[in-house]
Amino acid sequence: MGHADEFFDQTTAEGKRAADRIDYAAIQRKTDGRPSIVFFEAKRFDNKGLRSGKGNPAVIGQTNKYKEFIVENLPDFRKSYGRVCQNLVDLGLPRIDPLVKEAAANPGQLEVDPDVRLVDFGFDEDQRDGGVWKKHKTKLDEHFGKRLLLKGSPSEFTGGISK
């Protein structure tokens, strides 16, 4: 697999920049009450892209490029995710999140948040609190702020990420 920057150099048949893979998306309620699609990049604790001797860790550049792509294609993202919500409602599944129903009923109200969150997982308490990690975590905290989610075990996401 190539580095994320290589994927962004690809273009579509229409001459638009092609997207790399954002790891996952969720629907959340914004502070104004509207449903919003939010994106997450997930990295295991041992991923070298979370660390940097000089400058910023590579994941910051990676998520900045995701944000640029999302912003450049915001109407398409809104339309596509609105359609996904409508498709889920049309399937008549027994359990559908109320936010999905809201987005399907009023797709014009659906927001798309271009600020990608970072999920760091796969570490124990010693690794999380270790002195070597703290300098790297400080750089991530400065960039991501509340968008940095630290979960030692991926099983801690069993309750979902939509909250």
Domain count, the chain: 1
Our measurement of the distance from residue 26's CA atom to the centroid of its chain's CA atoms, rounded to an integer in Å, reads 8
Percent of the chain with pLDDT over 70: 83
* Residue 163 falls inside a structural domain: no
Structure tokens at 53: 């001797």
Enumerate residues 6+ apart whose C-beta is below 8 A from 57. Answer: 49, 50, 51, 136, 139, 140
The domain in which residue 17 lies consists of 4-155
Residue 80 lies in a domain: yes
The answer to whether 17 and 72 have CB atoms below 8 angstroms apart is yes
Average the pLDDT over each of 13-17, 118-122, 146-150 and give the range with the smallest value: 13-17
pLDDT at 45: 87
Any domain includes 123: yes
What's this model's pTM, rounded to 2 decimal places?
A: 0.81
> pLDDT at position 153, please?
74
Eight-class DSSP state of 146: G
In a domain, residue 68? The reply is yes
**In 3-state terms, what secondary structure has residue 79?**
helix
Residue 79 has pLDDT above 70, yes or no: yes
